[in-house]
Structure 1
Amino acid sequence: MTIRSRLVGTGSYLPEKCLTNAELATLVDTTDEWIVQRTGIKCRHIAAEGEFTSDLAVKAAERALAAAGIEASAVDCIVLATTTPDRTFPATAAIVQQRLGITQGFALDVQAVCAGFIYALSVADNFIRSGQAKTALVIGAETFTRLLDWTDRGTCVLFGDGAGAVVLQASEGSGSTEDRGILTTHLHSDGRYNDILYVDGGPSSTKTVGHVRMEGREVFRHAVVNLAAVVDEALSAVNLPIEAVDWLVPHQANLRIIEGTGKKLGIAPEKVVATVDHHANTSAASIPLALDEAVRDGRIKPGHMVLMEAIGGGLAWGSALARIG
């Protein structure tokens, strides 16, 4: 018998305010044409004053639980990926746990920036497969715009706020690739490149939050190569060809990276879920946001094979292969 973590529900939430490229052009030296040409982004959502990462996470989690038909009281594990916690401590996951009325199990945050959701999914999957949890809530949530320097057009045009969530449940499988659930996950990091994408602040160093700093060309170069490699790693682990993948759900960082990775892998553009145009890069929230959108509009159906991948500061990257439903 093989224990699988089945993805039984998805949910997402975007703040009400949407900042368009034209509006952004009144704040910084840029244009709609410049942003769309280089990133594919047309607008990004901005959390309201007083709206915290936990608020976004709770709304996404509630929608995922409703989609799964599961009461919050059944959840015994919450893994929340975020770079923008409500507080230095406690974990934002604990705040979400309290807000959902969950009094059992455990809750923890994972910090791997844009790769955070893949890391969180892997952590929760391992808890389920080891028997330490039966029902897990995996969330990616960010108020990333609060880390931006709004005078730096190289970064402020790229990011937005949002949250996405999935519900995982322990299920018996045969051990084959026909099983529903997570089939394999793969995580990597390389700290030699920690200074090409980082925030120039922190409680131990500057005692401030700081702002995002990025060497865009270097990040792009590493992203396309590493993402293609980690996708190949996932497929090799379960002995499947790329043709077996129904959908690629990548981190929504930049349309050029998404298209470059898809081309390198030989995946047809129509099999790639791209939502970066209307919510920008929401860091750890971007994959579950895209996944939920494609599930709800009917593109991704039960039984479909979905490949997810992401890269972020660290550098940290990873992939997850799952059969939905």
Structure 2
Amino acid sequence: MSKAVKIMASAHYVPKHVVTNEDLSQVMETSDKWIQAHTGIKTRHFALGENTSDMCVKVAKRALKEAGLSSSELDLIIVATITPDSLTPSTAARVQQKIGADKAFSFDISAACAGFVFALSTAEKFIRNGSYKRALVIAAETNSKMMDFKDRTSAVFFGDGAGGVIIEGADNPEDDMFVAEKLKTQADAEVIHSGRISPLREIAAENYPSIDAFYQDGHAVFDFVNAVIPEHIETLLEENSLIPQDLDLIIPHQANLRLIEKIAAQLELPLEKFATNIETNGNTSSAGIPISLDEVLRQKRQQGLILLTGFGAGLAYGSILLDISRFKYTCK
């Protein structure tokens, strides 16, 4: 039987270690003035001594506490990440083990900065069909471990963090928070890539696996987002008899404050309608959207329609429209 799907709880975590623009200027040719002018970023957090699954566990425990659940009441765990602890086992499986979610199944999703949107969409389908009752969806990135700190065009953007939600099936249609969605991929493996592994060329004792650092063509990304994302948002809204002005809030991927300003201008919306944390957290890749979502819910700003919009390597992009007015916040 098809179920309504609602968000039960949310949580986020950013590491304690704060890295300022001035700190970065000590290890690469850049400045606080240049970084703020081009990105809007003032600080970011680096996970020193923490890995991706460690941050996920903190989010998972906080979300479970908010929902009043034990880990054994989870049926599914999905982690969206492009900075996993390892290629295998999945980061989600590590989280499952660490929190003792003995009745769940788990897996990772790789969709870069659109990862949380893709993961939430996937989990919603599992819950909606009624086969499973509750899912924990987390996006987490330890971007710092994949940076080339000689590449100032990329390294100045990124920070570490994690955020997530617990969703649940419900019998009452009035509880349904998921209104609409649209996921897309415009295939291009060159604009953004990370962790590439070269194929074996010969059998030799000296062979040892190695991966490359994160890379992005900033100008190509900027052009792609300007050309595609506003139209993508407008198309989704039009398909649901809505216009941008009907939205109470947009939670975009925290890519670059200047880019978010461009999107706002193209949609003819004030910047105040966009939730941002990039100024203090930097670009946390897939984690930026759930971190912002948790911040919005914790402020108890009971907006109606909220649009989550992610875009990143792949090139993958997607949006989910939520009715947050139906969220019953339990945190005091």
| Smaller-chain TM-score bracket | over 0.9
Aligned to 1:199: 194
**Preserved contact between residue 65 and residue 71 of structure 1 (Cα < 8 Å):** yes
The Cα of 1:68 is off from its aligned counterpart by 2.3
Give runs of aligned pairs for residues 259-298 of structure 1, distance below 5 A.
Answer: 259-298=261-300
**One-letter code of the match for 1:122?**
S
Give runs of aligned pairs for residues 2-81 of structure 1, distance below 5 A.
Answer: 3-49=3-49, 51-81=50-80
The Cα of 1:13 is off from its aligned counterpart by 0.4
Distance in 2 between the 1:148 and 1:88 partners? 18
Aligned to 2:227: 225
Alpha-carbon distance change, 117 to 204 in structure 1, aligned in 2, over 3 angstroms: farther
Distance in 1 between the 2:28 and 2:132 partners? 47
User: Does 2:181 match 1:185?
Assistant: yes
**One-letter code of the match for 1:310?**
G
**One-letter code of the match for 1:172?**
D
Alpha-carbon distance change, 168 to 214 in structure 1, aligned in 2, over 3 angstroms: same
Alpha-carbon distance change, 203 to 169 in structure 1, aligned in 2, over 3 angstroms: farther
Q: Deviations over 1:227-280 (max 9, x none)?
A: 212222332333223232111000001001111112211222111101100011
Alpha-carbon distance change, 140 to 131 in structure 1, aligned in 2, over 3 angstroms: same
Alpha-carbon distance change, 155 to 120 in structure 1, aligned in 2, over 3 angstroms: same
Which residue of 243, 246, 252 maps to 1:244? 246
Alpha-carbon distance change, 101 to 146 in structure 1, aligned in 2, over 3 angstroms: same
Alpha-carbon distance change, 210 to 259 in structure 1, aligned in 2, over 3 angstroms: same
Distance in 1 between the 2:195 and 2:165 partners? 31
The Cα of 1:32 is off from its aligned counterpart by 0.3
Q: Please report the RMSD computed on the Cα atoms of aligned residues, expressed in angstroms.
A: 1.7
Aligned to 1:316: 316
Rg (Cα) greater in structure: 2
The Cα of 1:161 is off from its aligned counterpart by 0.6
**Preserved contact between residue 143 and residue 161 of structure 1 (Cα < 8 Å):** yes
**One-letter code of the match for 1:316?**
A
Give runs of aligned pairs for residues 170-181 of structure 1, distance below 5 A.
Answer: 170-174=169-173, 180-181=176-177
Q: Deviations over 1:45-98 (max 9, x none)?
A: 10112x110000111121122222222221101111000111110111011111
Distance in 2 between the 1:224 and 1:212 partners? 22
Distance in 2 between the 1:317 and 1:119 partners? 9
The Cα of 1:2 is off from its aligned counterpart by 5.7
Distance in 2 between the 1:142 and 1:71 partners? 25
**One-letter code of the match for 2:67?**
A
1:35 is paired with a residue whose SS is helix
Question: What TM-score comes out, normalization by structure 2 length?
Answer: 0.91
- Identity across the alignment (%): 37
2:314 is paired with a residue whose SS is coil
User: Does 2:94 match 1:95?
Assistant: yes
**Preserved contact between residue 5 and residue 175 of structure 2 (Cα < 8 Å):** no
1:274 is paired with a residue whose SS is coil
**Preserved contact between residue 110 and residue 120 of structure 1 (Cα < 8 Å):** yes
The Cα of 1:173 is off from its aligned counterpart by 4.8
**Preserved contact between residue 11 and residue 64 of structure 1 (Cα < 8 Å):** yes
**Preserved contact between residue 4 and residue 171 of structure 1 (Cα < 8 Å):** yes
**Preserved contact between residue 306 and residue 321 of structure 2 (Cα < 8 Å):** yes
Q: Deviations over 1:192-218 (max 9, x none)?
A: x21011126227579323111111111
Alpha-carbon distance change, 241 to 171 in structure 1, aligned in 2, over 3 angstroms: farther
Task: Number of aligned residue pairs: give it.
Answer: 318
Distance in 1 between the 2:148 and 2:296 partners? 32
Which residue of 252, 255, 258 maps to 1:256? 258
1:234 is paired with a residue whose SS is helix
Alpha-carbon distance change, 203 to 138 in structure 1, aligned in 2, over 3 angstroms: farther
- Any gaps of 5 or more consecutive residues in structure 2? 201-207, 328-332
The Cα of 1:179 is off from its aligned counterpart by 5.3
**Preserved contact between residue 201 and residue 207 of structure 1 (Cα < 8 Å):** no
Alpha-carbon distance change, 88 to 14 in structure 1, aligned in 2, over 3 angstroms: same
Distance in 2 between the 1:185 and 1:95 partners? 29
Aligned to 2:204: none
Distance in 1 between the 2:319 and 2:72 partners? 30
**Preserved contact between residue 140 and residue 287 of structure 2 (Cα < 8 Å):** yes
